[in-house]
Structure 1
């Protein structure tokens, strides 16, 4: 792996991934986001290209995808399905195959019990986008890995377990550092977990809702 594109590069998890890759690898980064000045600290870094762009503008994504080995998407929002459709179209046009995509718990109605009921209500505006995005990605010919994190924390820890889409989701929380750790493992071993939708949670955090709520 020599160069990757991070779409939605201002996201908190994406920023952890960026910092870790710059510290502990020789990988070159393209950072794609709205208002690129938010990542101006990287403008003079020879391993980083910061790109001001709109995920809904497929042509901008196609241009950004030139000469990369992998695409990592950290985008979100109520229009996620539209962004995902643009991302898939751009990858097809740019002849890119490998996609790491941050999704969400609940994308397959896999969160059971009272926590599942609470989660459905808490992120009701966003779940349709995650569910449609999952369908679009699974119907594509991309070599994808979707990641479905539990509710995210900023705890300074790497502690997580994984589940598959056919498993009931475990736990209620996971740290962004843990998600970043899994993303970096995929970047370093891009042939792993292809065609999978992987749930991430911190072990032994089961409950009716995240502990801080």
Structure 2
């Protein structure tokens, strides 16, 4: 049975991924978060293990990774690079080699035009952590990472997205969480997709100077 570790499991996208994996696969899930009570609905689920812990605790992360095939990091915040260093250290200790990493648009300086300028200001506090995390992950030779750079997130009930590569200008301004979760589920179902890559996700035809609701 394949075992998946989800870090930051209480995040909105992570919860969509969790429910889809439980419905569509036979994978066992380890849900790692600061306060396990937030996901108490899974307490009695036979395929779910809840782990309460800090993302910077390398020993706890390494223990949670025992027997894991894929780590999906849904972590964020201004201290993301610190978390990323801990994830890498734990994966190397536990000999886990596949990572799906939730990054952000702008992490590669890839967002063009006025929207790119607006995005730089809007998430200025967070971009240094995403950019440092990209450098940390790029230096890892034993970890196969797919980074995901979604546009600004919506809660729209839709799956509608296109992708851009690390070498392409970012497209669009928004994308639904369900769309991002769909891409993550595809990666988990087929871990050979997008090896050592960074993929932008956006809803087609949403170009603009900023997201429509701003």
Asked whether the two chains share a fold, i.e. TM above 0.5, the reply is yes
Provide the secondary structure at the position in 1 that maps to 2:32.
strand
Provide the secondary structure at the position in 1 that maps to 2:23.
helix
RMSD: 0.7
CA distance in 1 between counterparts of 2:68 and 2:108 reads: 30
CA distance in 2 between counterparts of 1:165 and 1:118 reads: 20
What residue is the counterpart of 1:182 in the other structure?
A: 183
5 Å-filtered alignment, 1:37-52, equals 37-52=37-52
CA distance in 1 between counterparts of 2:26 and 2:56 reads: 30
Provide the secondary structure at the position in 1 that maps to 2:39.
helix
5 Å-filtered alignment, 1:1-213, equals 2-141=2-141, 142-213=143-214
Provide the secondary structure at the position in 1 that maps to 2:10.
coil
Shift of 1:125: 0.2
CA distance in 2 between counterparts of 1:43 and 1:7 reads: 17
CA distance in 2 between counterparts of 1:143 and 1:108 reads: 18
Shift of 1:119: 0.2
Shift of 1:116: 0.4
Aligned residues: 213
Shift of 1:191: 0.8
CA distance in 2 between counterparts of 1:205 and 1:61 reads: 38
**Cα deviations across residues 146-199 of structure 1 (Å, max 9, x unaligned)?**
000000000000000000111000000000000000000000000110111000
CA distance in 1 between counterparts of 2:137 and 2:21 reads: 26
Provide the secondary structure at the position in 2 that maps to 1:193.
coil
Shift of 1:25: 1.3
CA distance in 2 between counterparts of 1:145 and 1:162 reads: 13
**Cα deviations across residues 17-63 of structure 1 (Å, max 9, x unaligned)?**
00111111111100000010000000100100000010111101000
Structure 1 unaligned regions, length at least 5: none
